[in-house]
Amino acid sequence: MKTIDEIQEKLKSGDAIVLTADELKTKIRAGEEVTLDDVDVVTCGTSGVMSGTTAVLHIPVSEPGEFNKASEVYLNGIAAYPGPCPNELLGTVDVILYGTNHSKTIEDYGGGFLLKDLVEGKEVDVQVIDNEGNEFNTKITKDDLGTARIIGTRMAFKNYNSFTNPDKKAQKSIFNVAPMEGPYNSYSFSGCGEINPLENDPEQNVIKQGTKILLNGAQGVVIDNGTRSTSEKPNLMLTADIKDMNSYYLGGYKTGMGPEIFNSVAIPIPVLNEKILENLKVLNKDIALPVCDIHGRHLPIDTIDYTVWEDVDYRPTTDPDKCFNCIPCLPELYCPVNAYKKDKTIDSDLCYGCGFCAYVCPRGVPSINLGKITIEAEGKERNISVTCRQSDKVRALKIAEDLKNALLDGSFEL
């Protein structure tokens, strides 16, 4: 048995052993015996499309007294909801912004793209219509905001469903970059498997209300379990200050139903006892991944596991010599994070590793090994290529490494 205080003291003295979840799993796969003496903290990470993302912002609009109360607020054309405090005559507005709201002025632009722009320090257009119909316009950056905080109402699910389309007709969904084609020739999944925080603490012995975390690189906390959370499929309600975030870890993600938002989360798991250590030994092969009909969302066709992350590429490569200069360029058109460029290169800071660029390009200019799955459906064995990933192992690994380094250098305390 160990206590959190004891582990924190070891961290301060430089005697603690901190491993990322990936480092721990590598040891387990190699057949190493890992005991309580071999590790004090394991840092787990995930990055994925997280629709339940809101932001609370306090925005300066005008000099005091110029308007009474805001009725409508738009940020780069995205509706934000004024209140709950009316801030009468103060010239400022409290708003709640949904990460899934779409802009009325910028095509394929939503709350996720806006929040990334804010974190990067870019100017944002603000339009306010007051209760008398008067319009006020200004520009802001994150430095102008008194409060700028993300509150995720449900993030970092332990369990996810994955999707294929049994029908011949393509189906629009938030679970795929474009309408998912069929029958049984497309497959999309989410979740980072064995490094995902709640997979490593499924009974929430450690991850609970008040647990400190990294959310998009900023130190934050677990508020509570999130909406739709159950003991079988828990998720978390998280918060952190937008001004402290790293823009690499969040952003917009275009889907067949319009722009969504992705976030990245890292959580430390202090290894206090044998039970916590045994839970940390979970591997991809142990984690069930239901394959569902894209039409029903919760109708499992079959169940596979998270070895979908093994023996695959995390990022695409490109061969511009294969390009026929198609108009439109489908990888550029469909890239959910706008990482695919006109010169047939991919912006590595933006790329999310979804792989959809390789799926839609008829000439094979971008290429990536996303792997295949095998399921039983309608009395047949079906081999389906993975065509879209909505979680990013690269960001998940990196934010877990960031948290490990912060624990070791003392900038993050348990």
**Residues spanned by the domain of 125:** 52-150
315 is a domain residue = no
* Contact of 111 with 79, CB cutoff 8 Å: no
Using pLDDT thresholds of 50, 70 and 90, give the confidence band for residue 229.
very high
Does any domain span residue 113?
yes
Confidence of residue 299 (pLDDT cuts 50, 70, 90): confident
Give 296's pLDDT tier (boundaries 50, 70, 90).
confident
Nearest to 216 by CA among 189, 251, 191: 251
User: pLDDT at position 262, please?
Assistant: 98
- Residue 217 has a CB neighbour count (10 Å cut-off) of 22
Residue 392 confidence (pLDDT): 98
The total number of structural domains that make up the chain: 1
Residue 80 belongs to a domain: yes
pLDDT per residue as tens digits for the range 309-335? 999 999 999 999 999 999 999 999 999
Query: What are the counts of helices (DSSP H) followed by strands (DSSP E) for the chain?
Result: 8, 23
Average model confidence (pLDDT) across the chain: 97
What pLDDT is stored for residue 187 in this prediction? 98
Buried b (16+ CB within 10 A) or exposed e, 281-320: ebbbeebebbbbbbeeeeeebbebbbbbbeebebebebee
Instruction: Indicate whether 214 pLDDT > 90.
Output: yes
Amino acid at 5: D
Helix (H, G, I), strand (E, B) or coil at 70: strand
Whether 335 is covered by a domain: the verdict is no
pLDDT digits (tens, 9 = 90+) for 237-279: 999 999 999 999 999 999 999 999 999 999 999 999 999 999 9
- Residues 20-25 have a mean pLDDT of 98
Residue 145 lies in a domain: yes
Residues 6+ apart with CB under 8 A from 91: 60, 61, 62, 63, 64, 65, 66, 67
DSSP letter, residue 181: P
Taking the C-alpha atoms of residue 180 and residue 169, their distance in angstroms, rounded to an integer, is 8
- Contact predicate 405/392, CB 8 Å: no
User: With 80 as the cut, is the pLDDT of residue 298 above it?
Assistant: no
Segment 390-412, tens digit of pLDDT:
999 999 999 999 999 999 999 99
Query: Is residue 107 in a domain?
Result: yes
Q: Residue 350 in contact with residue 396, Cβ under 8 Å?
A: no
Q: What is the DSSP string of 208-243?
A: -TT-EEEETTEEEEEEEE-TT--SSS--EEEEEEGG
Mean pLDDT of 109-125: 98
pLDDT average, residue stretch 206-232: 97
Determine the average pLDDT of the residues in 133-144: 97
Distance CA 45, CA 343 (A): 33
Place 188 in a pLDDT band, splitting at 50, 70 and 90. very high
Q: Has residue 62 been placed in a domain?
A: yes
Say which amino acid occupies 111.
G
- State residue 183's pLDDT score: 97
Residue found under tokens 């993600």: 253
Cis peptide before 270 (omega within 30 of 0): no
Question: How many other C-beta atoms are found inside a 10 Å radius of the C-beta of residue 89?
Answer: 12
297, pLDDT greater than 80: no
Residue 107: what pLDDT? 95
Tell me the average pLDDT across 226-234.
Answer: 95
Neighbouring-strand partners of residue 92: 60
Is the model's pTM score more than 0.85? yes
Residue 282 has pLDDT above 90, yes or no: yes
Residue 373 inside a domain? The answer is no
Give just the sign of the alpha carbon dihedral 237, 243, 246, 250: positive
Question: Sorting pLDDT into bands at 50, 70 and 90, what band is 182?
Answer: very high
- C-alpha distances in Å from residue 256, one per residue of 26, 98, 117, 136, 170: 36, 18, 22, 34, 10
d(CA 228, CA 102) in angstroms, rounded, equals 24
Q: Mean pLDDT over residues 292-313, rounded? A: 93
